[in-house]
């Protein structure tokens, strides 16, 4: 088969994809620079050889079979293939093979082009994985929501229902005892007052579990103090909070809520899975971002092998950070504890400190949102 060597070589070398010409016996006649780079061989090693001599025996058999099919059918073939790259990682290629005919229409060889589509395939796989994760997260959040409703229903029924029922019985008893001695009546009323106080405490606790009022009324610093102190009391282990109070003024309600929930979820994970002896929560503002760290000295984990619920909890925290233009990282290894790190752009609440307003000023403690 006449190739007009230099002309064909110039054409092929101006193609960024791998390109080649073969005769009907699958022997290479001409290859371009991209092809030689892909197989890691020189032109002298390739020309005159068949694919099983140029590539691995496995891929050589595949290429010989597709060459034979094109020559036998006279029909163009297009397919995607995956083979290891130079670094051993899989790479994907979009390959086209076509018959070459002479002036009489006889097939005298094949021509092929193979385009590296690894980046596109990885993007497609990442998109599919992201969609699958979002479906899992949606199902997880629905499960969590239903579990929270069940817990709230149980607390309302068991605690509030019990205390309100006791109040109702106590009032009915007083109503049926008009001649009760004053001392007994006073003692009974005191008992009912204590029931009322317990009912009020239960309402406050249930409301705080849903959304702590201190977050809206006193800000993020006070809310995290309440959260870490409650965590320490509930689990009997030290939980340290390191956070300048001025950080609160650098964050609007949306950022504060996201950070509170991320810290809350991190502490929940630490208590359920980490078995730590100490937990440290740290927040500060640097370069216009709020940096959050929740570290424990527990048993750690391999993040790729985290349990289903734990993995989805981490995913939920990551989504909270990403929704605000931030970033989420986790460092952990078996026996080395876990550290959750979040970075969220600092956005001051309306009427609070703003970065532009404080870029050259500090508060009384010498600290600013722009520090």
The pLDDT value given to residue 224: 93
Question: DSSP readout, 25-79?
Answer: T--EEEE-HHHHHHHT--HHHHTT--HHHHS-HHHHHHHHHHHHHHHHH---EEE
Mean predicted confidence (pLDDT) in 307-333:
80
Encoding tokens for residue 209? Answer: 């579990």
Backbone angles phi, psi at 193, to 5 degrees: -65, -40
Query: Between the CA of residue 268 and those of 227, 231, 264, 271, 316, what are the distances in Å?
Result: 11, 9, 6, 5, 13
Average pLDDT, the chain: 83
Report percent pLDDT > 90 for the chain.
36
Rounded to an integer, the average pLDDT of 116-140 is 83
Whether 76 and 98 have beta carbons less than 8 Å apart is answered as yes
Which tokens in the block code for residue 221?
A: 């610093």
What is residue 217's predicted lDDT score, i.e. its pLDDT?
83
Range 94-102, long-range pairs (CB < 8 A, 24+ positions): 97/66, 97/67, 97/70, 98/70, 99/70, 99/71, 99/74, 99/75, 100/1, 100/21, 102/1
Least confident of 19-33, 96-110, 176-190: 176-190
State pLDDT tens for residues 2-16. Answer: 445 566 667 677 788
Ranking 106-110, 150-154, 361-365, 366-370 by mean pLDDT, the lowest is 361-365
The whole-angstrom separation of Cα 27 and Cα 289 is: 61
Give the chain's length.
371
| CA dist., res. 209 & res. 73, Å (int) | 71
Q: Which whole number is the average pLDDT over 161-166?
A: 80
∠ CA 101-102-103, nearest 5°, is 125
Q: Does the pLDDT value for residue 199 go beyond 90?
A: no
- Terminus-to-terminus CA distance in the chain, angstroms? 73
Please tell me the predicted confidence (pLDDT) of residue 358: 39
- pLDDT surpassing 70 at residue 249: yes
Residues 118-140: what's their mean pLDDT? 82
Cα separation, 281 vs 263, whole angstroms: 8
**Averaged pLDDT for residues 243-267:** 89
What backbone torsions phi and psi does residue 32 show, to the nearest 5 degrees?
-100, 175
pLDDT score recorded for residue 39: 87
Give the Cα-Cα-Cα angle 200, 205, 211 (nearest 5 degrees): 125
Place of tokens 């008992």: 191
E-state strands within 222-302:
239-242, 279-286, 289-296
pLDDT at residue number 159? 73
β pairing state of 338-345 and 28-31: unpaired
Four-residue CA torsion sign, 268, 253, 214, 195: negative
In degrees rounded to 5, what are phi and psi of residue 276?
Answer: -85, 170
CA distance 77 to 4: 25
**This prediction's pTM:** 0.53
User: Does the pLDDT at position 150 exceed 80?
Assistant: no
- Give the number of other Cβ atoms within 10 Å of residue 93's Cβ: 19
Identify whether the C-beta of residue 55 lies closer than 8 Å to the C-beta of residue 93: no
> Closest by alpha carbon to 228, among 263, 275, 276?
263
Across-strand partners of 82? 92
**Residue 195's pLDDT band (boundaries 50, 70, 90)?**
confident
């Amino acid at each position: 088969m006449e190739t007009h060597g230099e002309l064909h070589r110039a054409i092929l070398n101006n193609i960024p994809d791998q390109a080649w010409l073969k005769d009907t016996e699958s022997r290479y006649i001409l290859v371009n620079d991209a092809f030689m780079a892909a197989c890691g061989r020189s032109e002298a090693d390739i020309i005159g050889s068949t694919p099983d001599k140029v590539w691995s025996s496995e891929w050589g058999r595949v290429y010989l079979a597709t060459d034979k099919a094109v020559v036998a059918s006279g029909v163009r073939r297009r397919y995607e293939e995956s083979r290891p790259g130079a670094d051993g990682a899989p790479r994907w290629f979009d390959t086209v093979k076509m018959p070459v005919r002479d002036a009489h229409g006889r097939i005298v060889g094949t021509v092929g082009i193979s385009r590296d589509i690894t980046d596109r395939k990885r993007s497609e796989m990442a998109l599919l994985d992201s969609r699958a994760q979002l479906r899992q997260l949606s199902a997880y959040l629905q499960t969590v929501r239903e579990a929270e409703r069940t817990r709230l229903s149980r607390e309302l029924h068991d605690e509030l229902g019990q205390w309100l029922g006791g109040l109702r019985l106590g009032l009915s008893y007083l109503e049926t005892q008009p001649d009760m001695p004053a001392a007994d009546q006073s003692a009974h009323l005191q008992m009912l007052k204590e029931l009322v106080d317990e009912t009020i405490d239960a309402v406050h606790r249930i409301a705080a579990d849903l959304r702590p009022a201190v977050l809206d009324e006193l800000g993020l610093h006070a809310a995290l103090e309440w959260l870490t102190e409650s965590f320490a009391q509930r689990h009997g282990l030290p939980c340290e909070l390191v956070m300048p109070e001025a950080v609160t003024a650098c964050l609007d309600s949306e950022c504060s809520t996201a950070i509170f929930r991320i810290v809350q979820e991190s502490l929940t994970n630490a208590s359920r899975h980490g078995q730590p002896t100490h937990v440290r929560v740290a927040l500060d503002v640097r370069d216009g971002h709020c940096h959050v760290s929740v570290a424990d000295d527990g048993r750690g984990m391999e993040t790729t092998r985290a349990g289903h619920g734990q993995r989805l909890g981490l995913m939920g925290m990551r989504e909270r950070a990403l929704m605000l233009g931030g970033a989420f990282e986790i460092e952990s290894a078996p026996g080395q504890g876990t550290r959750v790190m979040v970075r969220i752009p600092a956005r001051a609440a309306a009427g609070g400190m703003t970065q532009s307003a404080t870029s050259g000023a500090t508060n009384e403690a010498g600290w600013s949102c722009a520090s």
